[in-house]
Amino acid sequence: MSNSKKLKTSAAGMDKFRNQFLLIYFLLIRSTSSDTINASARITDGETLVSSNGVFELGFFNLNNSTNRYVGIWYSQISVPTYVWVANRESPLTDRFGVLTVTAPGVLAILNRTNGTVWSSSLTTPAPNPIAQLLDSGNLIVKDADDDRFTWQSFDYPCDTLLSGIRLGWNYVTSVETYISSWKSDDDPAKGEYSSHVDPTGYPQMLLKKGDIIQYRIGPWNGLYWSGAPDTSNDPTYFLSLQIFPNEVRYTEGIIGDSVLSMSRLNPNGEGVRSTWNNRTNSWASYTNLPVDNCDNYARCGPHGSCNAGTSPSCGCLERFVPRDPESWGRTDWSDGCVRRISLSCNGDKFLKYSAIKLPDTRNTTYNVERRSLAECQVDCARDCSCVAYTQLNISGDGSGCLFYHGDLIDIRAMASSGQDLYIRMAASEPGDVAGTSRNGGNRGRTRTIVIASTTSLVVVVFVCLIFFYVYGRRRKNDPIVGLFSATHVKEADLPFFSLPTVMKATDNFSNKNKLGEGGFGPVYRGVLEDGQEIAVKRLSKTSRQGVNELRNEVMLIAKLQHRNLVRTLGFCAQGEEYMLIYEYMPNHSLDLTLFDKEKSRLLDWQKRFDIINGIAKGLLYLHQDSRLRIIHRDLKASNILLDADMIPKISDFGLARSFGGNQTEAQTRRVVGTYGYMSPEYAIDGLFSVKSDVFSFGVLVLELVSGHRNRGFILNDHNLNLLGHAWSLYKEDNLRKLVDPCLDEAFDLGQVERAIHVGLLCVQNSPDDRPNMSSVVFMLGNEVALPQAKQPGFFTERDISIDHSSNSSNPTASHNQLTITWTQGR
C-alpha cells in the first residue's frame, strides 16, 4: 500500500474514531444532563443544560485568561468554543460560586456567593409553576410547566449573534426593539461600539452603527433580499424573511433544516460575518462578510454620487449630475456629492431610469404596498413635487407596490449583480428617455469633462463677480449688504436666479396690498409669476443688520434641505441694492395667525392639529438626522410654521439655524437669539444649543396646538403658572382633558390627545438628557406604546400677573450670565 493511501486510510480512521467518540460523549452528556430546570432546582458553576438534540449547551464559562465568569449558550458538538448568547454580559461574576435559578412568578436569575442578584430576566406574564428550558434552536425560554406559551425568551435579547429563529425589528405594542450588538473585544462580551438594526424609518432597511453614527447600510428590502446584499433567493438551503405588520416589523434569516450549523455574527471591529460549520475542516467557513469594500462605507460619495469599487477613483456622479463643489471633488473629497445639472421645476419634470445600483437610503421615503404598475408609481410621484425618485417596492412577483424617495439620494453604489432600477426625477429639458446603464449609474469620462467645464465656467463667473463687486464696493464701501450673495454662496446654494424686473412685476412693485408681514430682516410680499405660480418674496431691508446674516445663512443652508414639511425655496434675486429670497407661497399663512385667533382656530379640528404636530415632527427629524448636515433650527415657533392649501405644515425661516457636521452634537454661543417662550433653559441661560433645544421648542408647540394658547403670556385666574406649568399640573392630576382647546367641542380622540400632551411634556423636560430625540418622538406619536413618566418641565414658573406679558415689543433684551440675549418676534 502506498504512503498516500496509508495516510488517507489513517485520516479516515481518525475521523471515524472522532465521530464515535463525540457520539458516545454526547450520549453520556444527555444521560446526565437535562434541558430544563424548575423552581426547586438550580444550575451551579460546573453544571450545564443541554438541548434535547445536543446541539446547544448552557452553563458558566470564562474567556481566555480572564477570571470573570459568565452564563451563556454555546455550540456543544464542535471543538471550537463558539458562544452565541451571554446573559450577564455587563455584570460578570468574579468567582466560581455563581448559581442560575428560576423563581416564581417566572424570573430567571443569576446569584452570586452572597445570594445577591447579578442578572435577572424581565417579567411580562406571571408563571405559577415556572420552568426554564434550553430549546434545540438555541433559545432559552421561561414558561409555565402547564402552558406552552413563553413568558420570556433569550431570542428577544440577542447579543452579537443572529441564529435562525431570532426576529430582529420592532414590536410597537411593547416598544421593544430586538437588535444585535458586538462584544467590546474577543475577551469581553459587554456591549461594544457596533450594533445592527432593522430601521423602520421610512421603508425598512438594515443599518450598522458605531454608536449613533451609520457605518454601512443594507437595504431596502425588495421582497426577496436586501438591496445591496447578495441575492440568496435562488439558494434552496437559505431563507430571508421580512414581515411588516401594523404593530410589528420583524426580520429572520437562517439555514433551512438542522443538518448544518449556521450563524451571523457582528464582530467587535464592526464586521458582519455569516458562517456555516465545516465538519471536514473542523472550523467555521465564512461566506458573507460586510462591509465588502470601501463602497459599503455609508454615503461615501455624498448625495447623488455613486460608488464603484472597480474604478479609480471609486466615486462618480450619477449621469446628468455634476459635482456640487468641483474643487473638493478634484481633491477626492466627495462628501458634498453631486447636484442636478439642470434644476427641477416640478411641473413638466420627467423620470429617467438608472440601472444596476444599490437603492439609496430609505429613511426619507414613503411607500404604497398595493399592487401597482411602474407607470402608476410614476404618476403618483409626479403629482408630489417633493418626490424625487421612485422604484418598484416588491420584485418577488407577488405585487409591485411603489417606493417613493424624498430629498437627497444617498449611499448609492454600482452592483455587478442583484442591482435594481431607480427612476429619478429630472428636468424636462434633460435629453434622453432612459439614463445610461453603466454599472455605477454614472459616466466618469463625462464627469471629468463636466468638472473641467464647470471649473472653467466658475473661474469666469468668479472673475466677473470680482470686477462687479470691486466697482460696486468702491461706490458703497460701507453698505452691510454688499457681498451677501458672493459667487461662493451662489455656487453652494445652487438656486435659480430671478431678475429684479421679474420680482417687481410679480409683486406689483412691492405693493402694500401684497405685503404679508415684516420681521427683523425686512418685509415679505406675495407675488404671482407670469406662468401663474404664486410666490413669497423675502426682501432684505437696507437698514437691517442682523437680517444680513440671517439671509446669508438661509442661502448657505437652503439647497441642502428638501422635505415635504420644509418650505421650498424657489430661487434668489441679487441686483443693484436689492437682495431677496423667493419661496413657494403658503395660502394659509403662518400657524399662529390661525391657531391663536378665536374664530380661525375653529378651522383646526383635532385631526388637523394632530397632523400638524406629526408633520412638524417629521420635518424636524429630517433636519436633525436625515439631512446631509445635522441642522439646529434655533427658532422653532408657531409663526415659523407655514400652512399650505391642505394645511400641511412647513417649517420656515432658517436665518438663525446652525449646521453640525461629523459627530458634533452641541455648541455654545455668547449671543443667544431666539423667541421668548420657545427657548430651552440651557440655551437661554448658558447659550448651549443642540438638537434637544429644538425638541424643547417642539414640545412647546405641541402644548400650544392642543390648548390653543400661547405659552408666552398664558394666564389663568386660578393660578399664576405658565402654559408648561399648567400642563404639568394637569398631568400630575391625571386631568389632561382640561388642557384641550374648548373650541374643539369635545370632538377629539381623548387617547390621542393625551398621548400628544404626554409627548409634549417629555420634550420640555428641564434636562436635555431627559428629552427624547425626534426619531423617538415620531415613533411615540405614531404608535400605541407605553410612554415614560415625564419629569418637571423647564421654565416651570409662577409669575407676577401684574406684568403685561402680552407686550409685543420688537426687540427687548436681557442679560443672563454675561450673555447677550436678543428676543426676536414673529417674522
Higher pLDDT, 544 or 390: 390
Work out how many domains the chain is built from and give that number: 6
* Residue 635 known to be catalytic: yes
- 112, 128, 157 - which closes a domain: 157
pLDDT of residue 12 exceeding 60: no
The tens digit of pLDDT for each residue in 99-150 reads: 999 988 889 999 999 999 999 998 878 888 999 999 999 999 999 988 888 8
Residues 128 and 179 in one domain: no
Residues 284 and 308 in one domain: no
Q: Which residues contact 514 (CB under 8 A, 6 or more apart)?
A: 507, 508, 525, 526, 527
Q: CB neighbours (10 Å) of residue 517?
A: 14
The tens digit of pLDDT for each residue in 456-481 reads: 444 444 444 444 444 444 433 333 34
pLDDT of residue 519 exceeding 80: no
The tens digit of pLDDT for each residue in 324-354 reads: 999 888 888 899 999 999 989 888 899 999 9
Q: What is the CA radius of gyration of the chain?
A: 31
Query: Does the residue 468 lie in any domain?
Result: no
Q: How far apart are CA 100 and CA 707, in angstroms?
A: 53
Q: Counting Cβ atoms within 10 Å, is residue 566 exposed (0-12), middle (13-18) or buried (19+)?
A: buried
pLDDT band at 445 (very low <50, low <70, confident <90, very high): very low
What residues does 226 pair with on adjacent strands? Answer: 221
- 157, 176, 192 - which closes a domain: 157
The tens digit of pLDDT for each residue in 175-193 reads: 789 999 999 999 999 999 9
The tens digit of pLDDT for each residue in 67-98 reads: 999 999 999 989 899 999 999 999 999 999 99
Residues 311 and 420 in one domain: yes
| 229 φ/ψ angles, rounded to the nearest 5 degrees | -110, 160
Residue 359 is given by DSSP the state P
Residues 214 and 335 in one domain: no
The tens digit of pLDDT for each residue in 711-735 reads: 887 777 677 788 998 999 999 999 9
Cell of 636: 422653532
Q: How far apart are CA 334 and CA 306, in angstroms?
A: 10
pTM of the entire structure? 0.54
Query: Is 242 in contact with 204 (CB distance < 8 Å)?
Result: yes
Q: Write out the DSSP string of 524-585.
A: EEEEE-TTS-EEEEEE--TT-SHHHHHHHHHHHHHTT---TTBPPEEEEEEETTEEEEEEE-
Q: How far apart are CA 647 and CA 611, in angstroms?
A: 9
Query: Does the residue 715 lie in any domain?
Result: yes
Residues 163 and 149 in one domain: no
Position 438 scores a pLDDT of 37
Tell me the helices (H) and strands (E) count for the chain, helix number first: 14, 48
Query: Is 206 in contact with 219 (CB distance < 8 Å)?
Result: yes
Residue 339 is given by DSSP the state E
Q: Write out the DSSP string of 745-798.
A: TT-S-HHHHHHHHHHHHHHTBSSGGGSPPHHHHHHHHHS----PPPPPBTT--B
Q: How far apart are CA 517 and CA 539, in angstroms?
A: 11
pLDDT of residue 399 exceeding 70: no
Cα distances (Å, whole numbers) of residue 295 to 140, 217, 289, 439: 38, 11, 14, 13
Nearest to 381 by CA among 413, 417, 349, 341: 349
Residues 635 and 532 in one domain: no
**Which residue range(s) make up the domain with 281?**
158-292
Q: Find the CATH number of the domain harbouring 486.
A: 3.30.200.20
Residues 191 and 278 in one domain: yes
Query: Does the residue 170 lie in any domain?
Result: yes
Residues 178 and 147 in one domain: no
List the catalytic residue out of 160, 635, 694, 741.
635
As a three-state string, the secondary structure of 690-731 is EHHHHHHHHHHHHHHHHHCCCCCCCCECCECECHHHHHHHHH
Residues 404 and 267 in one domain: no
- 554, 584, 614 - which closes a domain: 584
Residues 162 and 150 in one domain: no
Query: Does the residue 460 lie in any domain?
Result: no
Q: How far apart are CA 784 and CA 172, in angstroms?
A: 7
Residues 129 and 238 in one domain: no
Position 783 scores a pLDDT of 80
Residues 790 and 642 in one domain: yes
